[in-house]
Chains A and B, each alone.
Chain A
Amino acid sequence: MKKVLIANRGEIAVRIVRTLREMGLGSVAVYSTADRDSLHVTIADEAICIGPPKSTDSYLDIERMLQAAEVSGADAIHPGYGFLSETPEFARRCEEAGIIFVGPDSAIMKKMGDKAEARRTVKAAGIPVIPGSEGVVESIDEVKEVAADIGFPIVIKAVSGGGGKGMRFVHDEQSLGKQYKDARKEAKNAFGDDRIYVEKYIPKARHIEVQIVGDSKGDAVHLFERDCSIQRNNQKLIEEAPAAVLADATRADITERTAAAIGRLEYAGAGTVEYLYVEEEDAFYFMEMNTRVQVEHTISEMITGIDIIRLQLEVALFGQFDIRQEDIEMKGFAIECRINAENPAKNFMPSPGSIDRLHFGLGNGVRVDTHVFRGYQIPPDYDSMIAKIIAHAPDREKAIRKMRHVLGETVISPIDTTLDFQHYLMNHPKYMDNTVDIKFLENNEIIE
């Protein structure tokens, strides 16, 4: 019997153990001393403590992960999301150690982790990108040339960037010189890398992403798309599948183009291509590709009936890929609300502690992915997401209605959670009308 080590914690580790069990495969959990009583430790076949609470000495420590894989005799490692899931070095070390990494090979992961390289790669494969420089710009004159071509406003971004560092919005040529210098300086300070590139600035858009699974041999299928426009500081709060805003022809075009392009890259396993979608232009612009399973993979599973974790494992462990695009059908509409242990009234301050009362409003078409239980202590060391509540119904309106009463019935106390905040959003007129974009929460003064 093959054994898979799960290099993760929380709900996704629980989720992966369950599919391994369904497939008759062995599971090895790893945990830090803060997670001794966590659910993934209890339900896995084996569990190995790998380090102290600090992630850099446990869940992010490549050495310790590989040691745990070695002593447990695991054949493969599933990285989940976050932590080491998009670290090419980890995938490479697994490859060297003869352990199967459940994901794409380290080379393509590395390409997709470099923003300029990712843009160049997917553009060549046939994916629409935001107009801008072809890779890195070396001088201010080059920036001027690009701006003349695509028109102001433009945005200057750091190649190694993230979290808005090294990013500058430029509205005219007069301020370009200063903004260019500032962006490079900031990038140098933040990432030790002052390479920058230029894109057209898109002021208003939705976040729509396409779920794909590749067979590593040139083919890939898509599991349709998700709309994740409801965000706070780039953190998704609500996700929907499919994206109700898209016309059928637009949906068919973007999902098929994406699957074909990713197939061409000989991509292995699950991945997500994230786009900005501009409704007025009916146009998609590539943002980035995530080379791992996503938090919100659940809603794609609900509308297609396909277990994405199982597909990942089949491709990685057995080189098996017997799913055909024409067999994948979309049924109904699914919404996911992420429930975080945070206090929305105090600027979403984390609220770790003990869960004394717990009840989920379950029922027909309701799914809850969680690692919490009554008596569980939420450690202060990790992400604050404690549950994903998913409602599946024939259409968007019915799914919203279902989600409302599920959230209303659910009790998680005495810690603070985003339950009520999510319930409020489910009743917001603009959300109900589906006239939102990625700045919905900021622009409607729902959050500061």
Chain B
Amino acid sequence: MDVEKIRELIKLAKEEDLKVLRVGDMDTEVHIETKGSGDTVVTEHGGKDKSSADGGHNGLHTVKAAQVGTFYTHKEENSTENFVEAGDKVASGDQIGMIEAMKVFNDVLADADGVVEEVLVGNGETVEYDQPLVTLRPKED
């Protein structure tokens, strides 16, 4: 279901002053709950979009998540300084981020030498096992 359609449904739910609005078709169900003034909860069932970014092509090396958790690119909680940015040179073993889960922080380390091509995950985003985090362009000799 496209976002515009959901927006329309939310508008409709508000206009009609509905607490709950549930709309479904074959494989998608939209459940909208309005909470007083303007605070709206939307959940959508089915039709997940799977991340297609897998790196590996174009001769790039991909650093992947070794665990489920929240990925941090920022070095400190109150800073916006990133461990690495696109264009940075890294060596195998350099820290490129952190993954936090169950209040435990684990360092994410580069497992190859190279230049950072792209950081694929934003600060504070949830990552799953094996999810590509950073692509590296290997050093050319």
Q: Which residues of A contact B (CB under 8 A)?
A: 1, 21, 24, 26, 33, 43, 45-52, 58, 63-64, 66-68, 70-72, 97
Asked if B69 and A67 sit within 8 Å, CB to CB, the answer is yes
Residues of A within 8 A of B46 (CB): 43, 45
Asked if B43 and A48 sit within 8 Å, CB to CB, the answer is no
Residues of A within 8 A of B91 (CB): none
Residues of B within 8 A of A64 (CB): 67-68, 129
- Give the residues from 64 to 114 in chain B that come closer than 8 angstroms, CB to CB, to chain A: 67-70, 101-102
Residues of A within 8 A of B102 (CB): 63, 66-67, 70, 97
Closest CB-CB distance, B48 to chain A, in whole Å?
7
Residues of A within 8 A of B48 (CB): 45-47
Asked if B45 and A71 sit within 8 Å, CB to CB, the answer is no
Q: Which of B33, B67, B128, B131 has the most CB of A within 10 A?
A: B128
Residues of B within 8 A of A21 (CB): 45
Asked if B69 and A50 sit within 8 Å, CB to CB, the answer is no
Asked if B43 and A50 sit within 8 Å, CB to CB, the answer is no
Asked if A26 and B43 sit within 8 Å, CB to CB, the answer is yes
Q: How distant is the Cα of A66 from the Cα of B69 in the complex, in angstroms?
A: 10
Residues of B within 8 A of A26 (CB): 43
Q: How distant is the Cα of A97 from the Cα of B31 in the complex, in angstroms?
A: 28
Using known A-B contacts A26-B43, A70-B102, determine if residue A33 contacts B70 with beta carbons closer than 8 Å: no
Using known A-B contacts A47-B48, A48-B128, determine if residue A71 contacts B68 with beta carbons closer than 8 Å: yes
Q: Is B34 an interface residue (CB 8 A)?
A: no
**CB nearest to A48 among chain B residues:** B128
Closest CB-CB distance, B89 to chain A, in whole Å?
30
Q: How distant is the Cα of A97 from the Cα of B33 in the complex, in angstroms?
A: 28
Asked if A33 and B129 sit within 8 Å, CB to CB, the answer is yes
Closest CB-CB distance, B141 to chain A, in whole Å?
32
Which of A24, A43, A46, A50 lies in contact with B129, CB distance below 8 A?
A50
Closest CB-CB distance, A69 to chain B, in whole Å?
9
Residues of B within 8 A of A70 (CB): 69, 101-102
Interface flags for B111-141 (1: CB within 8 Å of A; 0: not) read: 0000000000000001011110000000000
**CB nearest to B22 among chain A residues:** A24
Q: How distant is the Cα of A49 from the Cα of B51 in the complex, in angstroms?
A: 12
Asked if A67 and B43 sit within 8 Å, CB to CB, the answer is no
Interface flags for B12-56 (1: CB within 8 Å of A; 0: not) read: 000000000000000000010100000001010110100000000
Closest CB-CB distance, B95 to chain A, in whole Å?
20
Asked if A33 and B130 sit within 8 Å, CB to CB, the answer is yes
Q: How distant is the Cα of A51 from the Cα of B126 in the complex, in angstroms?
A: 15
Asked if A1 and B129 sit within 8 Å, CB to CB, the answer is no
Residues of B within 8 A of A52 (CB): 129-130
Q: How distant is the Cα of A164 from the Cα of B41 in the complex, in angstroms?
A: 54
Q: How distant is the Cα of A142 from the Cα of B133 in the complex, in angstroms?
A: 63
Q: How distant is the Cα of A51 from the Cα of B67 in the complex, in angstroms?
A: 7
Asked if B70 and A1 sit within 8 Å, CB to CB, the answer is no
